[in-house]
Amino acid sequence: MALKATIFKATLQISDMDREYYQEHSLTLARHPSETDERMMVRLLAFALHADEYLQFTKGLCADDEPDLWLKSFTNEIDLWIDVGLPDENRIRKACGRARQVVLYCYGGRNTQIWWERNVTKLNRFKNLRVINLPAEATSELTALAQRSMELHCSIQDGHICIGNEKSNMMIIPEPFL
């Protein structure tokens, strides 16, 4: 019998002073059986950083030809492709060919640095790609916020992210690679 996705519900209040975006989103996240809480929470953070009423979670790990999140135009073109993790260069190349803008959120500590050093030369050629590293300590703290039902608030100012719930808050300072 195949394992089913675990459903998480999140109410996310976003105050993004950098983009002047202030909104509350009620989100449903399906965590694939092979997905960790850390990866799921990085997807949620990516949503907060690019929040838009048309930004959508996709099938993610279940589909090789879809990102973790995307924003499509009214003509069904992909304006924004967001992936999390450490994908191979072929996947990134395909994404850059299909989308107007591609953003990759890397996490995983030392593995991220090794992946970056191995791929930096290949990735520098893509003009529509941004690669952002999330520090291991930050994603570890973010994982602690994961619950089946979450009420989170997220403030973004000058590229710094403050995210938390009624019990705790944390600061994340993303590190742009590219």
Encoding tokens for residue 80? 């924004």
Indicate which CATH number applies to the domain containing 16. 3.10.640.10
The angle subtended at Cα 170 by Cα 166 and Cα 176, nearest 5°, is 140
Please check whether residue 136 lies inside any domain of the structure: yes
pLDDT of residue 62: 57
Mean of the pLDDT values across residues 163-172? 95
Name the residue range of residue 66's domain. 11-176
pLDDT digits (tens, 9 = 90+) for 16-46: 999 999 999 999 999 988 899 999 999 999 9
43 three-class SS: helix
Q: Is residue 139 part of a domain?
A: yes
What predicted TM-score, i.e. pTM, was given to this entire model?
Answer: 0.94
6 falls within a domain: no
Number of domains in the chain: 1
Tokens of 178: 């590219």
Contact 51, 21 (CB under 8 A): yes
Asked if residue 54 is part of any domain, the answer here is yes
- E strand residue ranges, 17-148: 21-31, 56-57, 69-72, 78-84, 99-107, 129-134
CA distance 38 to 147: 12
User: What's the rounded Cα separation, in Å, for the pair 77 and 42?
Assistant: 25
Q: Which amino acid is present at 77?
A: E
Sheet holding 175-176, edge to edge: 56-57, 69-72, 78-84, 99-107, 129-134, 175-176
Beta bridge partners of 132: 105, 176
pLDDT score at 67: 96
Does some domain include residue 4? no
What was the pLDDT predicted at 4?
A: 85
Q: Please say if the pLDDT value at position 97 is more than 70.
A: yes
Within-domain flag for 1: no
- Mean pLDDT (whole number) for 109-121: 94
